[in-house]
Amino acid sequence: MTTPTARLALATCAELPELDSDDHALRDALLERGVATDVVVWDDPTVDWGTYPHVVIRSTWDYTDRPAQFADWTRKVERTSTLLNPASVVGWNIDKTYLRDLEKAGLPIVPTIWLDPERNLDSRAIHTRFPAFGDFVIKPTVSAGSRDTGRYDAGVTQQRSLAITHAKNLLSVGRRVMIQRYLRKVDTAGETALVFVEGQFSHSVRKGALLEGPFREEQVLYRDETLTARDATDAERELAERVVAALPGIAPGADGPLLYARVDLIPDDEGNPVVLEVELTEPSLFFALSEGSAGRFADAIAARL
């Protein structure tokens, strides 16, 4: 850690000490507005967070197998500084069980079966929870960048047993697991990510389908994504707006508008958008795909300083 020079920190992970390249446009846009930034690694023990009145979370993507340490870090930062988004919101958002809260609020999510590690489910009990036919997805509730996520064909015995092993491995280290049918319209339509700044829609992008098959052990921070600019449909825009509007009643501490929110939608088999995830922690914001978006985000940050 070099001596702090700026009063605003952008938090990243050790593997990306200069941020994800997409965020370089944000640094530049902030500088144009007279706001210098330090890029700081969230788990660097030498950092004195108190020197930064404001800390904005960006590419902290390596916490997924130690979420408790990350949540502790957010609370620690908040003792001396303003963390964006706030620790209470992050604490709620890093575990996808928040999708249950959205569902209770009447928002359509990808239909999910939840497996708790405390229940010590055996192979048979896991197996009976798989869909009878078609492809399905196994993923941990704490994940980013499609890590630890796999796609399986229920019609193939060998794939079912790989899926059981995958689920068991996650459960055995205390991770909660999600089973979802693979919503196959994503193969043609892709996923739509809608970015909101201070509660206002900013821009949207299309992400190509990511899952090809069973989970394989690989040491990557995130899976490469095929991204293109895309205008959200009216139905997507309407659903994402509903999600963002519902957050104050659902996410602890989200009383006012959040600096940033990203709502990821995929189509169900009828073609209606459903919520895949809501990223309030460390979303890629895809500035390169939308003219002016880095500037809008920089304006919003500058207004909060």
Ligand X SMILES: Nc1ncnc2c1ncn2[C@@H]1O[C@H](COP(=O)(O)OP(=O)(O)O)[C@@H](O)[C@H]1O
Q: Which is nearer to ligand X, 182 or 297 (CB)?
A: 182
Q: Which is nearer to ligand X, 61 or 73 (CB)?
A: 61
Which helix (H) or strand (E) is 127 found in, with range? helix 123-127
Q: Which is nearer to ligand X, 126 or 144 (CB)?
A: 144
Instruction: Sort strands 37-41 and 8-12 into parallel, antiparallel or unpaired.
Output: parallel
- Can you list the alpha helix ranges (DSSP code H) found in 33-105? 67-80, 87-93, 98-104
Instruction: Sort strands 260-267 and 191-197 into parallel, antiparallel or unpaired.
Output: antiparallel
Strands in 273-279's sheet, in edge-to-edge order, are 227-229, 200-207, 191-197, 260-267, 273-279
Our finding on whether 243 is near ligand X (CB under 6 A) is no
For residue 164, give the nearest of 152, 148, 182 by alpha carbon: 152
Q: Which is nearer to ligand X, 80 or 112 (CB)?
A: 112
Q: Which two tokens stand for residue 181?
A: 């049918």
Q: Which residues pair with 183 in a beta bridge?
A: none
Count residues binding ligand X (CB under 6 A). 21
Our finding on whether 182 is near ligand X (CB under 6 A) is yes
Active site residue 262: yes
Residues 140-179 within binding reach of ligand X (CB under 6 A) = 143-146, 149
Beta carbon of residue 134, minimum distance to ligand X (angstroms, whole number): 11
Our finding on whether 247 is near ligand X (CB under 6 A) is no
Which helix (H) or strand (E) is 299 found in, with range? helix 293-304
Residues 102-121 within binding reach of ligand X (CB under 6 A) = 110
Q: Which is nearer to ligand X, 11 or 99 (CB)?
A: 99
Kindly tell me the burial class for residue 3, based on how many C-beta atoms sit within 10 Å of its own C-beta (0-12, 13-18, 19 or more): exposed
Our finding on whether 97 is near ligand X (CB under 6 A) is no
Contact residue for ligand X among 153, 191, 198, 282 (CB under 6 A): 191
Stretch that binds ligand X, among 19-27, 35-43, 136-144, 292-300 (CB under 6 A): 136-144
Catalytic residue among 223, 238, 291, 304: 223
Residues 197-216 within binding reach of ligand X (CB under 6 A) = 207, 209-211
Residues 264-283 within binding reach of ligand X (CB under 6 A) = 264, 266, 276-277
Catalytic residue among 181, 237, 262, 296: 262
Contact residue for ligand X among 60, 180, 204, 284 (CB under 6 A): 180
- Can you list the alpha helix ranges (DSSP code H) found in 173-292? 186-189, 234-250
Q: Which is nearer to ligand X, 182 or 287 (CB)?
A: 182
For residues 216 and 247, give the distance between their C-alpha atoms in angstroms, rounded to a whole number: 35
The amino acid occupying position 6 is: A
Non-local CB neighbours of 169 within 8 Å, separated by 6+ positions: none
Catalytic residue among 27, 279, 282, 296: 279
Contact positions vs ligand X (CB under 6 A): 110, 137, 139, 143-146, 149, 180, 182-183, 186, 191, 207, 209-211, 264, 266, 276-277
Q: What are the catalytic residues? A: 223, 262, 279
